[in-house]
Chains A and B, each alone.
Chain A
Amino acid sequence: MSRIGVFICHCGENISATVDCERVAREASLMEGVLYSIDYKYMCSDPGQNLIKEAIKEHNLNGVVVAACSPRMHEPTFRNACAEAGLNPYMCEIANLREHVSWVHEKGDATTQKAIDLVRMLVEKVKNNKPLLPITVPVTRRALVLGGGIGGIQASLDIANAGHQVILVERDPSIGGHMSQLSETFPTLDCSQCILTPRMVEVARHPNITLITYAELESLEGFIGNFKAKIRKKAKSIDEKLCTGCGLCTTKCPNKKIPSEFNEGLGTRTAIYIPFPQAVPNKPVIDKTQCTYYTKGKCRLCEKTCPAQAIRLDQEDEILEFDVGAVVLATGFNVKGTDFFPEYGYGNYQDVITGLQFERLASASGPTLGEIRRPSDGKIPEKIVFVACAGSRDPAKGIEYCSKICCMYIAKHAMLYKHKVHQGNAYVFYMDIRAGGKMYEEFVRRAIEEDDVKYIRGRVSRIYERNGKLIVKGADTLMGGKPIEIDADMVVLATAGVASPKAEELAQKVHVSYDQHNFYAEAHPKLKPVETNTAGIFLAGSCQAPKDIPETVAMASGAASKVIGLFSNSELKRDPSIAVVNRMPPPTYTTCVGCGLCVTACPYQAIQLEDIKDRKGNVVKRAAYVNPGLCQGCGTCVAFCRSKSIDIEGYTSQQIVAEISALLNDE
């Protein structure tokens, strides 16, 4: 026997200005099963909520329909109110009279009629509602952080400082990421290494952090609170316990001409190498693709040299397994190479370099020890041109977005250059100067006004070499499109920030969505910026989109706080609106025939086939089973199920059909 209460909200004038709320309440009171119906100015206010609570108690209601704004706005509010009055919260439904009616229609009878129809639908639905209980899943309070750049470092430290275990996995031999490559940072010009390396050391020393470098995620299975991660720890070919990091091996290695990744190809390294002096851990690895022993079968010079006998040439990759409750993706980004730009010489001109390469030239730890010298002949460039938006904001290049960091780092580069080469000339070709951020605009103005960097608004159409100079052809659009040619000694392209090379592969491994540029997709662009659509997996930093250091750090702390929140309970409560495969008494057991269509349809890998056994333990049927921890309640499986054996709790076919019938029967 249904005892339903209907509560019509005016939403101030938002609804009542177009919908006759009193009439809706009156009509609702006549609907079958409705015991109580009332309209009120602000149903979400305290008195409004009390109205609902009192009515539930007074009339012993077993179902509630609140006709108000979108359920996205106040469903939790009203469901809580019901729960406080002793009603199961899932017996409360929302009819959206604001976004679906009053905001989109003119005032009139038809509009009020639509409001009445919506209320009628929800009344019929609620009659078919069943009390639901939140799902509880256990939580492993250990986090996996992928990527040891500043984002991963910050997230790891925050989680570890809250008392939880962290496994930090880094692909390269050292943590530090791109930030460790930078010379100075905007807008303060403080040294990047100086602020970063203490954090790197802190990570390595932290009792709650297990640091695994030179390693990659092999696989991730499970669900929020209960992931199983397999990590491939690549063979470093050294015994890390014995190695003292003296570096003698790196001085003896005969293979010295390998382009250094850390120096963006502007310097060289050996086959056994420590990527940079401040590396953490500060122990070498052997690059098997370059080492003469691995490629040609002889040498072993490092083995003979090592005073600690720490070289292990027969070491193999290790697979490590961890149970973790949450994952933070902090895998960072990359920049396009100069070879991406046919008009700027296809990467054939040595003195056309990327912004990241310029960082290495300007860095005290770089190949020129911080002197700005051009790569081709080591001369100090007298004229240098910076090209902003190289690739970025260029649909013709397939990169429509703004890379966000370039305007600022170009201003910084030009400043650093002028500080080091006083008589030099620095030009910047730009489209717009995007300097939104604390002290950012002031920083750019300083470059222009105090350091005399010449900003030219226009794009560079072409760069070519003539008599040892790089001719930069562009136009000054503020001077009526006047063509400009600058004979530069060096050109720095602020090449577009793009996703890490293996971003797509990783996204598929951990089942998070990504955009057409392989940047990872946040769950909501405004309100869930660090969550992904997969529960328990969070994002930090530029794997989501290009961003600068402060933003990355803020996001990492945000992701960490989500992880800490998740770890604050030993069990996790989740919305029970998930898919369930029906089960019934023998001999049917279930109408599911085990065809497995839903298994392939599920985007969250939440469904698998399981054996149904009788009391004696004999397998009587094979049917789908939905893992409640993984299911996100999207309903894809319901649409796929040919025998109609799957339903979403709270949105069963029965409920939906009741709603539609209510609408049709009225005609």
Chain B
Amino acid sequence: MPLAVYPGCSLTGSSREYMESVEQILKTFEIPYTFVEDWNCCGATAAHNLNRKVAEALPARIIALAEKQGADEILVPCAACYNRLKSSQKKMDEDKVLKGQLSEMVGMPLDNGIKILNVLEVIEQSIVPKLNEKIQAPLNFKAACYYGCLLVRPGNVLNFDREEDPQSMDRIVEILGATPVKWSFKTECCGAGFTVSRTDIVSRLSGDILIDAVEHGAQALIVACPMCHANLDMRRKDIEKATGRKFDIPVIYLTQAIGMALGIDHQKLGLNRHFVPVSI
């Protein structure tokens, strides 16, 4: 069965370069995929703060749609969407009554057996085994792999990598030729959704992340979350104002980094769309 891909709102808007690079590498490695048709918002931060039923129904509908398409795996590149989908899946697993109610709400049968994968899992599973032979331009820089909060936590829901000191991205980056640095802020909060309402908090938190990365010798930050990317890249001016320091360290999606190592044109990977120029 082909892999279903759920883009979510960010990957069609502010982070379209993430989607572009995901598609580039899926194509390069000849992994068949289809987008979830008629997809809806995952609920993001807002839904589960306001209405718990709706918060579960939104991801449930996405799961039901993907299952209707016959997919048994769904790739969710956005860390927040991934977190929401996994969380709803677990809730439905544990509560059959809820599952029935949600199935009724979304008006579709719900098997809930689909495997929800983040970008790292798909890469480790389907790309890493063939990665070495395809590398054209090994990356030659020190990289700080930044996982953020939603990709690995809470551990008992996601069951993916170790919560406090994840390693999967570091392993992949090493294959690409880059040197992953040991640093302390791998899973610290970037400020997330406060990017709109409290830029001051985001500037301070994201600033701390940049400082730690730079002080540990990193020349690039590698990320797998559109929210983290937005805060570290788009908010760079605010960060510089808040910290009183200049940073030229670029923020690159892992999929872009893979594309770079594969020798794919930077334009195709959307690297030109960043606020902080990628010149390494």
Contacts and interface: CB of A to CB of B under 8 A. Distances in A.
Contacts of A466: 184, 212, 215
Contacts of B188: 462
Contacts of B182: 348
A464 B184 contact: yes
B253 interface: no
Is the contact region of chain B dominated by helix, strand, or loop, or is it mixed?
loop
Contact of A342 (B163, B212, B215): B163
Interface in B213-264: 215
B212 A346 contact: no
A349 to B, nearest CB: 10
A465 interface: yes
Given A466-B212, A466-B215, A342 B165 contact: yes
Interface in B178-212: 182, 184-185, 188, 212
A317 interface: no
Given A464-B184, A466-B184, A343 B212 contact: no
A297 to B, nearest CB: 39
A475 to B, nearest CB: 14
Interface in A317-346: 342-343, 346
Nearest to B155: A396
A342 B164 CA distance: 5
A467 B216 CA distance: 10
B184 A346 contact: no
B1 to A, nearest CB: 36
Contacts of A464: 184-185, 212
Interface string A343-364: 1001010000000000000000
Nearest to B162: A342
Nearest to A341: B164
A391 B163 CA distance: 15
Contacts of B162: 342
A471 B162 CA distance: 21
Contacts of A346: 164-165
Interface residues of A, number: 10
A346 B184 CA distance: 11
Give the size range of B's interface with the partner.
10 to 19
Nearest to B165: A342
Contacts of B163: 342
Interface string A160-181: 0000000000000000000000
A462 B183 CA distance: 13
Contacts of B184: 462, 464-466, 471
Interface string A263-288: 00000000000000000000000000
B220 to A, nearest CB: 20
Contacts of B215: 466-467
Interface string B158-180: 00001111000000000000000
A465 B185 CA distance: 10
B218 to A, nearest CB: 14
Contacts of A342: 162-165
A466 B185 CA distance: 11
Contacts of B165: 342, 346
B249 to A, nearest CB: 17
Contacts of A343: 164
A512 B19 CA distance: 59
A471 B211 CA distance: 14
A448 to B, nearest CB: 31
A467 B212 CA distance: 10
A464 B184 CA distance: 6
Residue with the greatest number of chain A CB neighbours at <10 A, chosen from B165, B184, B212, B215: B184
Contacts of B212: 464, 466
A163 to B, nearest CB: 57
A379 B272 CA distance: 49
A123 B52 CA distance: 61
Interface string A449-467: 0000000000000101111
A348 B186 CA distance: 15
A343 B162 CA distance: 10
A323 B188 CA distance: 61
B165 to A, nearest CB: 5
A161 to B, nearest CB: 52
A464 B216 CA distance: 12
A462 B188 CA distance: 10
Interface string A604-646: 0000000000000000000000000000000000000000000
Nearest to B166: A342
A472 to B, nearest CB: 12
A268 to B, nearest CB: 26
A197 to B, nearest CB: 42
Contacts of B164: 342-343, 346, 462
Contacts of A467: 215
A346 B163 CA distance: 12
Nearest to B156: A396
B72 to A, nearest CB: 31
A466 B184 CA distance: 8
A250 B186 CA distance: 46
A424 B75 CA distance: 53
B53 to A, nearest CB: 28
Nearest to A346: B165
Contacts of A348: 182
A348 B162 CA distance: 15
A346 B165 CA distance: 8
Nearest to A473: B188
Interface string A556-594: 000000000000000000000000000000000000000
A467 to B, nearest CB: 8
Nearest to B212: A466
Interface in B118-177: 162-165
B159 to A, nearest CB: 14
Nearest to B183: A464
A613 to B, nearest CB: 61
A7 to B, nearest CB: 55
Residue with the greatest number of chain A CB neighbours at <10 A, chosen from B164, B188, B215: B164
A421 B164 CA distance: 33
Residue with the greatest number of chain B CB neighbours at <10 A, chosen from A343, A462, A465, A466: A466
20 contacts: A342-B162, A342-B163, A342-B164, A342-B165, A343-B164, A346-B164, A346-B165, A348-B182, A462-B164, A462-B184, A462-B188, A464-B184, A464-B185, A464-B212, A465-B184, A466-B184, A466-B212, A466-B215, A467-B215, A471-B184
Interface of A: 342-343, 346, 348, 462, 464-467, 471
Interface of B: 162-165, 182, 184-185, 188, 212, 215
4 tightest Cβ-Cβ pairs between the two chains A and B: A464-B184, A342-B164, A343-B164, A342-B165
Given A342-B164, A343-B164, A464-B184, 17 more contacts: A342-B162, A342-B163, A342-B165, A346-B164, A346-B165, A348-B182, A462-B164, A462-B184, A462-B188, A464-B185, A464-B212, A465-B184, A466-B184, A466-B212, A466-B215, A467-B215, A471-B184
